[in-house]
Structure 1
């Protein structure tokens, strides 16, 4: 791009208001410049926080403060710790081969635990300030798309400090009014993680994972209708790749597929 990338252009890019040609040129500039990419990620987070989130503290679902250590995951896998509680949803995820690393095991365990906690149908959305502070603590240009068009609201957020087993991570929990629970997990990406969307499934739990720059993402849902979750995953993957929110066409497609989908099965 020969002309400088101005703040006005970046704002228009995040808002999806550029022509296809300008959009592509700005995207190329972002791909070449990590500092510019980080700035665009910040713009996107701020716009998301200001437009789609509550200003009061969230009524988050309580979870234990510990992280799932590698030893804990190994024990859970060997003795089937969650079989009685989770009807086999989690156990298979704990028997990964070499293609699925420990960060992904932890994300699966956290989602399975959270997905079976009781949910308040009128839970408030995550406070905008808490969201921005948590994103800053992660120290990665992560994206958390607004999924209200998919009938899901961001009602749970938990930041995990780095420890001996894992890098820092962020768990974003989206809930619907018909039993749906969706987890978006963001952490530092392992070197070999593919940028393409990869699907995994075990029992009633489906998941997708991918890498965008230095960030590893995983998306989990339990009992969600196939077409709905597949489209959500594809659109979230695209949003993280472009580092901006959904356009009107995407929101309409998500609204349509979610409106036709049955309630999520436990």
Structure 2
């Protein structure tokens, strides 16, 4: 699309339609340098427009990932698993698009938090302790659970790269994640429920690094255990529902845990309570 095409598109358009069209052209890299610089300056001060651009970029990245297999060609490895070239569009955004947007904002929020905590002492020494305290208490237990739910939705469908470190290197995985989180971690066994450890990965959390352990059964169903810091010494086990996904979450010894999966609620609850006990939780939390 050239500048003349953009001009024809804008003729007869409402201001809102024109603004949306310009944001789309910005994401696709189709704006002239002068217009792009002006729009970047506006986005720095307009949080609503910046959020729309972030959503457009997340949607574009998701669609590119969905079509990557088709672009690889029929002779590429695992080509039979490639996504079809024809996409069916529905009015309601699919879960992977919503999860992608949420994951993008998770990363942005974690980065902003780290930047503010690092700069606050130098920018405002007298106010820095109060600012840092508000940042550390900004995430509720439910927000922690939603972060875990998003991580499950994003990584559990992965076939080739579901984890960073596989279960074959479990000792290294545990040592690495324990060091990054600054506390001893354990990947509890779920063998009695038919689930084996796939591996794990490091993720950004609201108050520092977080860890995700992934499990899988013979049917290919997956569960994830999300672990991060918590200000609460002990929180009862609670449930978060999102579509067909369920997340049971709790805190023990200032560590937050969230078990996510597609399991029926009673079965996942049983596993969650068992994991809670294995990780130092008490029956009173149940």
Tell me the TM-score normalised to structure 2 length. 0.47
Rg larger in structure: 2
Larger helix fraction of residues: 2
TM-score (norm 1): 0.50
